[in-house]
Amino acid sequence: MHGTGFAGVRGQARSHRDSAGFRNNLKKLYKILFLYRNPAGAPPVVLKPSAISALTLVTLMILSQPGSADWQSSLPSAQLSGSGDFTWFGLRLYTARLWRAGAAWSWSEPFALELTYHRALSRNTLVKASIEEMQRLAKPPLASDTVERWSATLSEAFVDVRPGMRISGLYLPGHGCRFYVDGKLRMEVTEPALARAFFAIWLDPRSRDAQLRDRLLGVAAND
């Protein structure tokens, strides 16, 4: 989705509906804390090992919820590869930043792409632009049913964007990717082909904006 926004491809996706599970886990933790709350003046309560294990388990469940942290928690050693602005007929649409895990960017290593928007763009605009670029780069060309399916997926994954909104994609080689909106997990993709097709919009040698690609990869200096 070159030039206009950031698309999330679903594959066999898990959406932000995980927040419901997070709330349920939080309630469980509250119940455990309440059950073992020590009333004022009462003797100290000694928790049995089973109770401690239950409390630890619920706590870990909450902390491990994908929607509770941005992509940095999955890529703690990430370092900035490069950054640059994308403009369209003189309008600055977004600032892109590429974060890599290794010494150099590679499709075989995890990486993250962040887009910070400077213009308001509709969901439909993002979907249309994404599909056009993914189709342009595809070899062989995408089948019509694939285009239809991906369009529906992107329509579900996208939101209207506004200035200041940050959308990030975490690429996981051999697995797929995750998409975040302002630090919150929006969708997880478990289809590697879809994930690669999406990030190729910026990182394929045939990317429509070769200068931006070079800047993201750190092979061209920013002005």
CATH assignment of the domain containing 211: 3.50.70.10
| Same domain? 53 vs 121 | no
Q: In this predicted structure, what is the pLDDT of residue 151? A: 81
Given 68, 103, 129, the domain boundary residue is 68
Look at residue 43 and tell me if it is in a domain: yes
78 and 94 part of one domain:
yes
Q: Are residues 171 and 192 in the same domain?
A: yes
**C-beta of residue 6 within 8 angstroms of C-beta of residue 179:** yes
The number of distinct structural domains making up the chain is 2
Query: Is there a single domain that holds both residue 162 and residue 104?
Result: yes
* pLDDT band for position 157 (cuts 50, 70, 90): confident
Please report which confidence band the pLDDT of residue 2 belongs to, taking 50, 70 and 90 as the band edges.
Answer: low
At 69 the pLDDT is: 56
Q: Which two tokens stand for residue 1?
A: 């989705």
Residues 49 and 77 in one domain: no
Is 198 inside a domain boundary? Answer: yes
Distance CA 141, CA 78 (A): 34
5 in a structural domain: no
Calculate the average pLDDT of the chain.
76
Q: What is the pLDDT of residue 214?
A: 97
| 9 part of a folded domain | no
| Residue 70 confidence class, pLDDT cut points 50, 70, 90 | confident
Whether 77 and 177 map to the same domain: the answer is: yes
59-68, 79-88, 141-150, 186-195: least confident range: 59-68
Tell me the pLDDT tens digit for each residue of 105-130.
Answer: 999 999 999 999 999 999 899 889 98
What's the pLDDT at 31? 46
The domain of 57 spans: 18-68
Residues 47 and 80 in one domain: no
Q: Domain for residue 118, yes or no? A: yes
Comparing 51 with 191, the larger pLDDT belongs to 191
For residue 222, tell me if it sits in a domain: no
Instruction: Reply yes or no on whether the pLDDT at 45 is more than 70.
Output: no
Read off the tokens for 137. Answer: 């780069």
Same domain (yes/no): 107, 193: yes
* Structure confidence by residue, pLDDT tens digits, 14-38: 444 444 444 454 444 444 434 444 4
* pLDDT higher than threshold 70 for residue 58: no
Is 62 in the same domain as 75?
no
Whether residue 22 sits in one domain with residue 81: no
Same domain, 210 and 117: yes
Q: For residue 209, tell me if it sits in a domain.
A: yes
The reply to whether 221 falls in a domain is: no
